[in-house]
Chain A
Amino acid sequence: DAGVIQSPRHEVTEMGQEVTLRCKPISGHDYLFWYRQTMMRGLELLIYFNNNVPIDDSGMPEDRFSAKMPNASFSTLKIQPSEPRDSAVYFCASSFLGGSTDTQYFGPGTRLTVL
């Protein structure tokens, strides 16, 4: 299996621009998670989906952030407009309910820099 795939791996943009991060979970997994990692705040859960439906978005920092999962093999995290404080590494993870172990498998991350 290819594991969780994220694109792009690096993104540099200017303040005010729209940013879209992409994630392909492991085939057959039914949970998908978006995290943000910064030095100041560590790893924060932003939102997670079950069977393509958002279950908990309480970690989404503000309305500038949105996430979608149009099908079982694809999810996006969008920031519009972006701000310098959004600079972070964004991770996507997936897991499988049938495994009953709560184990999450992480992608390599997208390093976002907002100038």
Chain B
Amino acid sequence: AQSVTQLDSQVPVFEEAPVELRCNYSSSVSVYLFWYVQYPNQGLQLLLKYLSGSTLVKGINGFEAEFNKSQTSFHLRKPSVHISDTAEYFCAVSDRGTYKYIFGTGTRLKVLA
């Protein structure tokens, strides 16, 4: 069965510092991978997705993620964060063609001034 693990429930980081949010998954088949962001009292917004091809995926707001098949990871990175990046970030996996996501438990990113 599929599963997604986000090891860090909270990540505090100072403004303009780099950040990495970790995501590991388990699946027996080929997958699509996603990162979503949720701002307070809002729905989820797609940041980026890996479907195939280049393992380095660039998304909105300066975020990027790297798919590592051997380590079954899809970590999210940003070289310099802003206060406005404070939000909860969710990693998700779907078996190709099933249109069914499994979400991780989320990582709360708090950017400090």
Q: Do they bind each other? A: yes
Q: Which residues of A contact B (CB under 8 A)?
A: 4, 31, 33, 42-43, 45, 48, 50, 56, 91, 93, 95, 97, 101-109
The winner among A42, A101, A102, A107 for most chain B CB atoms within 10 A is A102
Assembly CA distance A95 to B99 (angstroms): 8
- Complex CA gap A45/B104 in Å reads 12
Q: Can you report 14 residue pairs joining A to B where beta carbons are below 8 Å apart?
A: A4-B43, A42-B103, A42-B105, A42-B106, A43-B90, A45-B100, A101-B49, A102-B34, A102-B94, A103-B34, A104-B101, A106-B45, A107-B43, A108-B42
**Min CB–CB distance A75 → chain B (angstroms):** 15
Checking A31, A42, A91, A106 against B99 with a beta-carbon cut-off of 8 angstroms, the contacting residue is: A31
How many B residues touch A, CB cutoff 8 Å? 22
Report whether over half of chain B's contact residues are helix, strand or loop; otherwise say mixed: strand
Which of A33, A50, A97, A103 is the one whose CB lies under 8 Å from B46? A103
Binding site for A on B (CB under 8 A): 32, 34, 36, 42-46, 49, 51, 90, 94, 96-97, 99-106
Please state if A108 and B43 are interface contacts (CB–CB under 8 Å): yes
* Alpha-carbon distance between A31 and B90 when the two chains are bound, in angstroms: 21
Minimum Cβ distance to chain A for residue B76 (Å): 17
Residues of B contacting A109 in the complex (Cβ-Cβ under 8 angstroms): 42-43
Most buried by B among A4, A50, A105: A105
Q: Which residues from chain A contact B102 at a C-beta distance below 8 Å?
A: 45
Contacts of B106 in A (CB 8 A): 42-43
Interface centre among B101, B104, B105 (most CB of A within 10 A): B101
Give Cα A97 to B105, complex, Å: 26
Given contacts A101-B51, A102-B94, A103-B49, is CB(A45)–CB(B44) below 8 Å?
no
Cβ-defined contact, B43 with A45, below 8 A: no
Q: Which residue of A lies closest to B36 (CB)?
A: A106
Taking CB atoms, residues of chain B closer than 8 Å to A101 are 32, 49, 51
Residues from chain B with a CB closer than 8 A to the CB of A97 are 99
A43 & B103 in contact (Cβ 8 Å cutoff)? yes
Cβ of A104: which chain B residues have Cβ within 8 Å of it?
46, 101
Query: Given the complex, which residues of A lie within 8 Å of B46, measured CB to CB?
Result: 103-105
